[in-house]
Amino acid sequence: DVQQRSRQSNRGRRGAALIFQHRGSRPQGSGITMAGSPACERDIYVTRCCPPSMSKRSCWRVDQFQILKKVGSGYASTVYLASDNATGKQVALKMYHKAKLSELNLFQVSREIQIHADLDHMNCLELWAAFEDQYGIYLVTEFAGKGDVFSFVEARGGRMTEEEAVTQVIYPFLNALMYLHGKKIMHRDIKPENLLFTSTGVLKVADFGLSINFAEERPVTRVGTLDYMAPEVLRCPDKNLPADNKCRADLGYGEQVDAWAMGVLAYELSVGRPPFGMSDREATMRAIASHSPPMPEW
C-alpha cells in the first residue's frame, strides 16, 4: 500500500536475510545469511567517509557501540543514537531486523548500501560502515544532531519564512540533488523527515532505502510517500519481487520525480501543508493526478 500522512515508505513484507561482504570499494556480488542462523559478524562495507579513528578495526560488531536512545523506527528497521566505545564518537546506528525482511526488502537494503557508500557530498549524510550479524544488518552513519526538517518546522509553528526555506533547506538540497542526479541516482523518497540538520545547521539528505541507479536499473514501481509522489509514479504498480514489472515497456519514470517532490517540499515549508493532501488516500491520488495545487491565502 501507498502510505499517506503516516509518513511510511513502501518496503515489502516478511522474509529472511542476505548479504554481501566487501570493504572499501563497490560491492561485487552477494551471499545469503538466513535470519537466526549461526553466522558470525562480518563487515559489508567500510567507506572512505569513515573517520580514520574508526576505520582500522578488524571487524565491526554491535557491542562496539553504546545505545543511547531510539530516534526512529519503521516496519523492519530501528534507528538509534549510539556512541562508539573506542572513540566516543556519536553515530546513528540503523538496524534492519532480518526476521522482518522479505526478498524485496533484502534487495533494497543491498542496493541502499551500494548507493549510499558511493556518495561523498557535504549535503548527503555520510555512511561510515555497514555490517551484519545473525539478527540484523547495521548501517553506521554520522549523527545529525538537530534532527529532521519536519520536526524543525513543526517546532516553529508549521512553516518557514521564504528566506529560511531557501537558504536553510531548498538551496543546499538542490546542491545535493544535482550531485545525486549527476551520479545517476534517483532518491525517490524526498520529504521533510529525510532531510536532516547537523549540530552546526548543515542540511543532509538521508535515507537512500528506495534510491535507484537509473543508469543500471529502470524504475517501474510505485514507491515513496504519497504526498510527494509525482503522477507518473502513481501510474506504476507495487511489486513483491525485485524483477516484477521490469519487462513492461509502458511503465517507467525519470529523475524529474525528485524535482516534483522538491516542489511539494518547497510548498509545504512555506504554506504549512503539502499541496495535494486530502482526507483519504484515494482522494490524494486523484488530486495529484489531475489537479493544480491550490494557491495559499496569505
Binding-site members for ATP are 94, 142-144, 193-194, 207
Among 236, 286, 279, 242, which Cα is nearest to 257's?
A: 236
Please state, in angstroms and rounded to a whole number, the distance separating the CA atoms of residues 103 and 20: 14
Cell (9 digits) for 95 = 538496524
Cell (9 digits) for 244 = 516484477
Chain centroid to CA 6: 16
Please state, in angstroms and rounded to a whole number, the distance separating the CA atoms of residues 139 and 245: 29
Please state, in angstroms and rounded to a whole number, the distance separating the CA atoms of residues 114 and 184: 13
Q: Residue 210 to residues 19, 37, 66, 108: CA-CA distances in angstroms? A: 17, 27, 28, 7
Is 189 designated active site?
yes
Are 35 and 16 a contacting pair, CB within 8 Å? yes
Binding-site members are 94, 142-144, 193-194, 207
What are the φ/ψ torsions at residue 153 (nearest 5 degrees)?
-70, -40
Write down the catalytic residue from 43, 189, 227, 258. Answer: 189
Annotated catalytic residues are 189
